[in-house]
Structure 1
Amino acid sequence: MMKINLLETSSAEWLDVLQRCRHDSHHMPGWLRAAQHEGSGKAFAVHVMDDGHELFVPLLNRDINGKDWDASSPYGFAGPVVSDDAPDGFVDTALSEALELLRGRGCVSCFIRLNPIVNAPWRSAVGTLIDHGMSISIDLSKSEAEHWHDTSHGHRLEISKAMRAGVTVRLDETLETLPHFIRLYNASMDRLRASDYYFFDDAYHYTLARELGDRLRLFVAEEDGVIIGGATVTVSDGTGILQGHLMGIDARYRHRQPSKIMLHAIRQWGREQGYRYYHLGGGLGGSAEDSLFRFKRGFSPDTHVFRTQRVVVDPGKYLALCDGTPSVLEDLSGYFPAYRR
């Protein structure tokens, strides 16, 4: 008999499920608590069990009007987690039952960001699956020579030039440079005129560091004792996935290409530590054409598809929130949920 539970991040069962199922650092309760602290909604997870098979979906409960709410994955790639031996049909049955439970509690829609690596085999007929483009990962089982071969000619030249100039990269084990990194990251986002989506208050960074512990690593690039760049990555020991999180550089040292030497150093560290993937993500908005995608592609030929899943949980309420325009239920490929545009 199918059993559905809604778990809070403090629930011991949350970690128990993750021990049994393939997951990433973005599925950890601490990742959700940091997102909750950021004001993105109240963190919870749906856990479905049936005959030993499991479906687990971490989500944020986002208020709409004080009565109704919608569910959304947090920033990152906290897609569904499924037990390895789940039979065909289990996912859709379990997900449908879970969403029916949420509908009864006032949920109007559900937006899920799939994990490009963990959810690569994900197939579901519930709602609409949208392909957003490619994301890039580095295969850390390759040798140093293979990694260097996969690096574009331009990246190789600039990494070598920075090394000759004395730029070094180190892992900051104590996170003593976190305040400096936060300043560099914010300045970088200001310089790039990034949208609000890419800005986080200082407390978010400290919350994430406290919640994830050694699952969050900070690398800093330095020249003559000056920090010229920083990058955070999350670590998942069970699946061997490093996820690139945030990066910031000192504009005065752009000629040293600190972002390139940091990625080079992080992949070297990941390879030496025995991890399997270093996921860099994709371009802005999933684009395979922009400069960010081309920058990342210069480190690896390996790509994954980034997808989202959109479900209208309560069509009547969804329609009412969209001023009764029937077409919003026919095509979910645009901004979702449409009433939050």
Structure 2
Amino acid sequence: MSLRVLAADRNRSEWLAAWERSRSREPFGHPDYCALFTAPGVTPLCAVREPEAGGEGLAGLPGALFPFLLRELSIEPWTAGGEARRDVAVPAGYGGAFLFGDAPFADPASAPRHAIEFWDGFAAWSRRSGVVCADARISLYEDEILPMTGWTRTQASDNVVVDIDRYRAHGGEGFSRSLRRNIRLAVRNGVRVEPDDSPEAFEAFLPLYHETMDRRGAIDYYRFSPHFFDGLKDLVVKGLARLFLGRGPDGTPLCGEVVLLGGRRAYAFLAGGGAAAHRLHANELVRSTICSWLAGGHWNEFVLGGGNKPDDELFQYKLRFAPEGRRSYHVGAVIHAPDSYTELVRTRAAYQRSRGLPPHRARRFPEYR
């Protein structure tokens, strides 16, 4: 098996060619999306295995591409000088080894073998590259990725998915009754929503997003760099994302939402709005308008994501757009160097104690982050 590791900057054309042959062109596999997360000590890469042709009477095998972020542990304040180890995570959203190419799994028994070979190859590369462990938020559409063999799977908070085919047929009848009422109120309040990909609209959206993150006390995971937002603006221009802006009766921007666009489905990505948007129910109208816009195109699902905790207020809000749209969601983890992993956990704990800080409580895997 030949596994190549490509960089988003140096090998963009090769990476893009593989992504363009993927089955649903998920935005999270695009090199330009992954490049948003470039930062000091963070390099966007992609492990790629090309499709294999079958011999006489034998089925071929699809290719697979696994986008990931290679993170240097040397930039962490709690590691010692000379630290050379790294770890891996997937870019924000959903990950896995996305299948590409024309060859289907005609023989179901070939899928696990193909997956084992891919992930064994990635594990070998990881050990050679000083990668201690890897963390992944697994795609909701596991028939479009290789099985995560060798990874530990953990069920996380459910996600919500709006069925756009159903919306196309029945409009907003699938929304909850209270949501439909709020959407009507927003229209009566004079709120207007439309897709607006202009630079001016994006600049109007940014303070709304930052205000929302400040108000909610969002963690650093949701506070992105200027490089990220410049790149996201480019994704909007390229048609890989779309910005929907809600304006008040006088044209003042009230709220907005950026949606990532894949080949089959769209994903809610960033949203923000001020107090006036909440009072006028503008946020609900924005998301309803997104559903209408998607229904006019080729998309069949709109993934809203989940909450911060199972069935929390945020999750319940999303569920109002798809009361029957609950989907199971998993995260994955794999440790390539168990001794190093244990040492890093101890190092982080010692760092906390040495500075009189409370014990570190990781939000998710790995335990030392």
TM-score, length-normalised on structure 1?
0.89
Q: 1:256 aligns with which of 233, 257, 280?
A: 280
Change (3 A) 1:167 1:335: closer
Change (3 A) 1:253 1:209: closer
Q: Which residue of 2 aligns with 1:20?
A: 21
Change (3 A) 1:281 1:158: same
Task: Please give the residue correspondences for 1:265-280 in structure 2 after superposition, counting only pairs within 5 Å.
Answer: 265-280=289-304
SS in 2 for 1:134: strand
Change (3 A) 1:143 1:76: closer
Q: Which residue of 2 aligns with 1:88?
A: 111
Return 5+ residue gaps in structure 2 as ranges.
54-60, 75-82, 349-361
Change (3 A) 1:121 1:178: closer
Task: Please give the residue correspondences for 1:113-262 in structure 2 after superposition, counting only pairs within 5 Å.
Answer: 113-117=137-141, 123-144=147-168, 146-211=170-235, 213-224=238-249, 225-236=251-262, 238=263, 240-262=264-286
Q: Which residue of 2 aligns with 1:8?
A: 7
Q: 1:309 aligns with which of 321, 326, 332?
A: 332
Q: State the Cα distance separating 1:256 from its structure 2 match.
A: 0.9
* Aligned AA (2:7): E
State the alpha-carbon separation in 2 of the partners of residues 153 and 335 from structure 1: 35
2:64 and 2:145 in contact (8 A); partners too:
no
**Pair 1:294 & 2:319 matched:** no
State the alpha-carbon separation in 2 of the partners of residues 269 and 29 from structure 1: 26
Q: Percent identity?
A: 22
Change (3 A) 1:72 1:191: same
Q: Which consecutive aligned stretches of 4+ in structure 1 deviate over 6 angstroms post-superposition?
A: none
SS in 1 for 2:318: helix
State the alpha-carbon separation in 2 of the partners of residues 175 and 78 from structure 1: 29
State the alpha-carbon separation in 2 of the partners of residues 308 and 275 from structure 1: 25
Change (3 A) 1:211 1:226: closer
Over the aligned positions, Cα root-mean-square deviation in angstroms equals 2.2
Residues matched between the structures, number: 327
2:202 and 2:233 in contact (8 A); partners too:
no
Q: State the Cα distance separating 1:146 from its structure 2 match.
A: 2.7
State the alpha-carbon separation in 2 of the partners of residues 112 and 276 from structure 1: 25
State the alpha-carbon separation in 2 of the partners of residues 219 and 176 from structure 1: 13
TM-score, length-normalised on structure 2?
0.83
Change (3 A) 1:167 1:160: same
Q: Which residue of 2 aligns with 1:64?
A: 73
Q: Which residue of 2 aligns with 1:78?
A: 95
Return 5+ residue gaps in structure 1 as ranges.
326-332
Q: State the Cα distance separating 1:113 from its structure 2 match.
A: 1.5
State the alpha-carbon separation in 1 of the partners of residues 219 and 241 from structure 2: 24
2:29 and 2:67 in contact (8 A); partners too:
yes
1:120 and 1:304 in contact (8 A); partners too:
no
SS in 2 for 1:322: helix
Change (3 A) 1:166 1:252: closer
Task: Please give the residue correspondences for 1:29-48 in structure 2 after superposition, counting only pairs within 5 Å.
Answer: 29-37=31-39, 39=40, 41-48=42-49
Q: Which residue of 1 aligns with 2:57?
A: none
